Copies of this chain bind each other. A is one copy, B any other.
Amino acid sequence: MAQLMYRQAVAAAIAQEIERDPTVMLIGEDVGAGGGVFKATEGLFERFGPSRIWDTPISEQAIIGTAMGAAMTGIRPVAEIMFSDFLATCWDGIANEIAKMRYMTGGQVCMPLVIRCANGGGVHFGAQHSQAVENWAMAVPGLKVVAPSTPADVKGLLAAAIRDDDPVVFFEQKELYAQTGEVPEDEYVLPLGQANVLREGADLTLVALAGTVKTALETAERLAADVGQEAEVIDLRCLVPLDVQTVKISLAKTGRLVIVEENPRPLGWGAELTSILVEEAFDSLDAPIIRVTTEPIPLPSSPTLERLARPGVERTLEAIRRL
């Protein structure tokens, strides 16, 4: 085990896969000599050189299209779109081309590529650099969607995403880049689509993803300390494939469920999870499923306002009181 920062785990996963598979390539703006604006690819250019690490112009459509053309013809590109907000600048390539090509051609192509991006708020970057848009990707059939909450998960899930034969949008939590954690030094790959039960509890279930996992865990501790209730905390890790089963099992036990998600309302991922549970586990529900989300507004840059807008421990506790 090594102590790595979340961002170093990104580089570690890419390095592991580049070494293992000669077809893995990294492509993006300033991912090479610059090491990435978040330093998430630092050291890779020095180690693997320009034949594996490709700096591009500011041309998100070209980055995504190039990754797609390469993926169809034997390469496994890892494309960086610097901020997840910028997925909008190449959304056609992602949602209409990459996600659909396999189906439209009756399975003539595979699309083994990863689109990495920095997602979420908390760093006061304002409305165009702080969005949590994992719901945008989840809404497009044909994409897989991953959003890890720890350095170890970053390494294991990014490696899995690179090896996966389907296109994966990989959301790195901006706010967590500097967070450290234990990461296996040896080859490390996790399966996609397996939620992680991070804390057991019988009184209620908290479902979280990426940046809200910490919020859910803190809330659970507060809850235990304040009112002696034990919350089960589930880190979904992936939105597609969505591990409904793990959530259902927990709900069957607790009967009460709160979702903590960073997507703004309306239509964050918690809405689909709620809908599935209502359809398929209605009898398990002892109380309404409550969602704690970012407010339905563009994210303000002022820290005072940004804090209010995002889901936090206080708002989660308040939601639990409403159960």
Contacts and interface: CB of A to CB of B under 8 A. Distances in A.
A300 B100 CA distance: 10
A322 to B, nearest CB: 8
Contact of A100 (B99, B127, B135, B278): B127
A282 B280 CA distance: 16
A95 interface: yes
A49 interface: no
A269 interface: yes
Interface stretch (A136-144, A160-168, A188-196): A136-144
Interface centre among A126, A135, A139, by most chain B C-beta atoms within 10 angstroms, is A139
A50 interface: no
B274 A266 contact: no
Interface stretch (A25-33, A36-44, A220-228, A288-296): A288-296
A1 interface: no
Given A89-B92, A272-B266, A274-B274, A136 B138 contact: no
B288 A282 contact: yes
Nearest to A279: B288
Contact of A275 (B271, B280, B300): B271
Q: How many monomers of this protein are in the complex? A: 2
B103 A300 contact: yes
A95 B88 contact: yes
Contacts of A268: 139
A271 B279 contact: no
B282 A271 contact: no
A245 interface: no
Contact size range, A? 35 or more
Given A272-B271, A274-B275, A279-B288, A128 B141 contact: no
Contact of A298 (B135, B141, B272): B141
A279 B291 contact: yes
Interface string A69-98: 000000000000000011011011011100
A112 interface: no
A289 B275 contact: yes
A253 B321 CA distance: 28
Interface in A47-75: none
Contacts of A136: 136, 139
Contacts of A86: 92
